[in-house]
Structure formats: structure tokens, C-alpha cells
Amino acid sequence: MSARSILLTRFNLGGLELPNRMVMAPLTRCRAGNGGVPSAINAKYYSQRATAGLIISEATSVSPRGNCFPNIPGLYTRDQEAGWRLVTEAVHAAGGRIFAQLWHGGRVSHSDFQPDGGPPLGASAVAARVQVLTNEGPKSSQTPRALGLSEIAEVVSEYRAAGLVARAAGFDGVEIHAANGYLPDQFLRDGSNHRTDAYGGSPAGRARFVLELAESLVGDWGAERVGVRISPSGTYNDMSDSDPFATYDYVVREFERLRLAYIHVMRASESDRRHGGAIVPLARFRPLFSRAIIANQDFDKESGEAAIAAGEADLIAFGRPFLANPDLPKRFELDALLNTPDPSTFYGGAEKGYIDYPTLDEVRTA
């Protein structure tokens, strides 16, 4: 018998007892019902994965203007709250825990999604050179309208309100999605933030927006139930920063000051490396942040164990492995083979590629 994997050992996350250190990474699946309302199929999908130490929900829009993909869920209507309650109750009944990932697309939304048909909103009027997936298929992204100061305050209140809906829906906590080129990330990095007011310029100015979001959510939830996801080396959604070390050293120290439950750090992907931006190593953050560090991106069992053993992370988030293997912790425990994810069913559709990935027991009896 080999020693028990560190990934399968307990972890206390801000008072929440996790039975293992395997986090299900947030995964947009574009299968919410009309009006961004989760339903029974979504509850089934998440409850199938309830043996994760912690589930982080798919990115969920905080407001109609934040929408940036078709058929994504929201957290701004009573129907959405009721839909999410189905999900959280199913996950809890299966013994799991789930945080809501709070999302605003900012400049990578599209006028098709905007209630007034106007341009999407951004930190600055700087377009991302990307394709946006709309209800009519991919379209070129548009130049956003820079948020005015009073509008920034409105967006902060939208996050706070979404956090309250998440709490009413039974989530165990919230994660601010400040990675992958969405609105908080657009403020954070100088490739997309050209503002000359208090929300731009220095790392402190650019970090102000995400820190205001964190403070307002901490006010309602307590710091031990608020986490944040960052992608310091990320180039997805046409992102760049002239000095990511300065930007992320600053903002992570501030997350430490706010005593957030965790930072969820995405390492550089193959695509980030190809784009040639600066690579911020995971190890950078341990001296800056004393609470939990969740690491993500291309981890398997061995590399996840190594990152924890090296002290660079406390928990590992698995995205595609959890998508395709509802019983991933059991498979790691038994060193069993993994199902292969099918990218053709990642975004949109129904049961296929969503709730029909077999468990190990189902594979064996098939």
C-alpha cells in the first residue's frame, strides 16, 4: 500500500472542513435554462461531483450587463436564486460544499447581450481582439464603453447584491472571478486599463476595483467565505500587463490584508507561454499570502502532490479532469484510469457530455 496521497487529506478552509484537497475548478457549461436559471440537470451535474473537497461553480453573471456567453446562469433574479437552491441542496445532500463564482464579462460581453443593445462595458475603451460567442455564434468583440465613476459604484453594488442572492441560495461562499480577462482583470492589468483616475495608473489604482468588490463581499459573508481567482500570467481574452510582478505582488498583499479565505492562482498555460508574456511562477505568492492557495492549470495527481509538497499550494483545482470524471477523488485514490474529456460538448447542449460521464463503478459494470 503506498502512502495516502496528500491530495486526499483533509484541509480546513477558513473553518470549512474539506475532506480532501481536490477542488473542482469553475467550468462554464452553457446549460442554464431560460433567464439564466439553473435547473434539475445542473443540480445533477454538480451533485455527481460532490466528493470534491470544494466545488467552485461555473462563472455566474452578477447582472444582465455582465452576460458574455449564451445560456449562462445568473445571480440577480429570484428565479435564479431558486434554481441555484436546487443545486446547493443537491450538493449538500451528497455531502459536498460549493462556492459561487461571481462573473462580469466587461469588454468581452457584446451588444447582443446588453439589455439596451449598447456596447459592452469596460475599464477603458480598449477592445479585446477576440471572438465572442453570442447566441448567433462567434462575433468580433467590440470596443467597450469605459465605466464612469458612479457606474463603477453601481457595478460594485451588483456584485454585493449577487453575493447576497448566492447566500440566500445556500452557497457556502463566493469566489470573485478576477482571472481570464473579465471585468476585474480588465481593471487590474495595464493592457486593458488606461484610466487616469483613481481606478487606473499604479498597481494600487488598477487594483482598487477588485479590492472594493472583495471588501463589500467580506462585509456580508466574512473574509473566511470569500476567495478570489487570478491569472497573473494569463493572455486569454487578449490580456497583457507591462509588469505583472508589481501588479500581482500588490494585489495579493491586499488580499492578505483583507484576510480572504484563499487566492486561486492559475499558472501559465501552454497558450500563455506561446504568447510570450511574462510568466509569474506560482511560488511567488506563498511569502505574500498566509491563508489557502489553490493552484490550477494542467495539474494531474503527481504534479498536484508535488506543488503541495513544495509548499506552493494547499489545494489543487482540477477543471477538465473533474468535468470528465465525476468521481475524480476515488480515481486518484485507486490510481484508476481517467475518462477523457470531449471538447465538442464543453459549451452548450444537454445531457451528453454533461451528466453521462461514467463513474468507475459504472465503467466496471458496463
Which chain residues interact with ligand FMN by CB under 6 A?
25-28, 58-59, 101, 177, 179-180, 229, 266, 296-299, 318-321, 346
Active-site entry in 46, 76, 182, 236: 182
Residue with cell string 463564482: 101
Please state, in angstroms and rounded to a whole number, the distance separating the CA atoms of residues 337 and 358.
12
Cβ closer to ligand FMN: 133 or 147? 133
Q: How far is the CB of 150 from ligand FMN (least distance, A)?
A: 28
Q: Which cell numbers in the block locate residue 212?
A: 472594493
Cβ closer to ligand FMN: 113 or 318? 318
- Closest chain position to ligand FMN (CB): 319
Q: 295 Cβ partners below 8 Å, 6+ apart?
A: 265, 267, 282, 304, 307, 312, 313, 315, 316, 317
Do 123 and 199 form a contact (C-beta atoms < 8 A)? yes
DSSP-derived pairing of the beta strands 131-134 and 16-18: unpaired
Q: How far is the CB of 2 from ligand FMN (least distance, A)?
A: 23
Q: How far is the CB of 148 from ligand FMN (least distance, A)?
A: 27
Cβ closer to ligand FMN: 127 or 230? 230
Is 182 annotated in the active site? yes
Q: How far is the CB of 323 from ligand FMN (least distance, A)?
A: 6
Query: Quick one: CA dihedral 299, 300, 306, 311, positive or negative?
Result: positive
Cβ closer to ligand FMN: 203 or 227? 227
Q: What is the DSSP string of 300-328?
A: -HHHHHHHHHTTS-SEEEESHHHHH-TTH
Please state, in angstroms and rounded to a whole number, the distance separating the CA atoms of residues 53 and 329.
9
Q: How far is the CB of 264 from ligand FMN (least distance, A)?
A: 8
Cβ closer to ligand FMN: 60 or 146? 60
Closest CA to 190 of 170, 168, 206: 206
Q: Which residues are catalytic?
A: 182
